[in-house]
Structure 1
Amino acid sequence: MTDAISSILSQIRAHEMRARGPLADAPAGNAINPQGLRPEGIGRAGEAAEAGAPGFGATLNNALDNVSRAQRVSGELQAAFEMGDPRADLARVMVAMQQSSVAFKATAEVRNRLVQSYQDVMNMPI
């Protein structure tokens, strides 16, 4: 079960790295900003901060923040394109929309697998 969760988390990290790569040449207003992440050691309420390695909760929060950011950027680019902004070309809008779609689908799959893992643990005989 923990191997499945580790596999899913590594897939999320790989997706995050792929999402950062193609937009490196995009103008600052149209790019997903990976620098918006929290500094290490600073977490949300109730999170234990370890030196060096983020916990499962921090990793999950970062992944959800990245998905939210991708969807927001996609919406902003789409609105800018519809209003005729010359900086929002069709290719960049389509890439941003696909990135947000893939990120959302990956997040939904992670949620489904976590729920299934929880149900498996709850149904284990004592």
Structure 2
Amino acid sequence: MSIAAIESVLHQMRATALQGGFAPRMDSGASEAVQGSGGFAGEFKRTLERINGTQQQAYGKAEDFELGKPGVALNDVMVDLQKANVAFQTGLQVRNRLVAAYQEVMSLPA
């Protein structure tokens, strides 16, 4: 897998996140990366944090539904849980491809 392919996956993940309404958080780590010091590792870390946030939000909404809090509909809970699952599966596939690319690079003759 080439760097261009990895960058393409990152671009697709960014576009999907923006379409899903996830704006990049501007905490101290993110502000450094926005200024250009994060690179691939920073972008990957922010993506993992967004995936975690999506999962935490979905699990929180599911817990609210289980507790019977008003204003929490089952269909919203199910949609949020599916979004969290898709985000996790996407992150897992990116990780798998990164590991495969790393193994490929490490097996190249010196």
TM range (shorter): 0.7 to 0.9
Partner of 1:63: 47
* Higher RCO (CA-CA < 8 Å; seq separation 6+): 2
Give the AA of the match of 2:8: S
RMSD: 2.1
Tell me which residue corresponds to 1:92.
76
Identity fraction in percent: 33
CA distance in 1, matches of 2:34, 2:62: 39
Unaligned runs of 5+ in 1: 21-31, 43-48
Give the TM-score, by structure 2 length.
0.85
Equivalent in the alignment of 1:78: 62
Corresponding position of 1:23: none
Q: Where does structure 2 lack aligned partners over 5 or more consecutive residues? A: none
Alpha-carbon offset, residue 50 of structure 1: 7.2
> Structure 1 residues 6 and 51 mapped into 2: Cα distance closer, same or farther (>3 Å)?
same
What is the rounded CA distance, in whole Å, between the counterparts of 1:79 and 1:66 in structure 2? 20
- Greater helix proportion: 2
Distance in 1 between residues matched to 2:97 and 2:65, nearest whole Å: 36
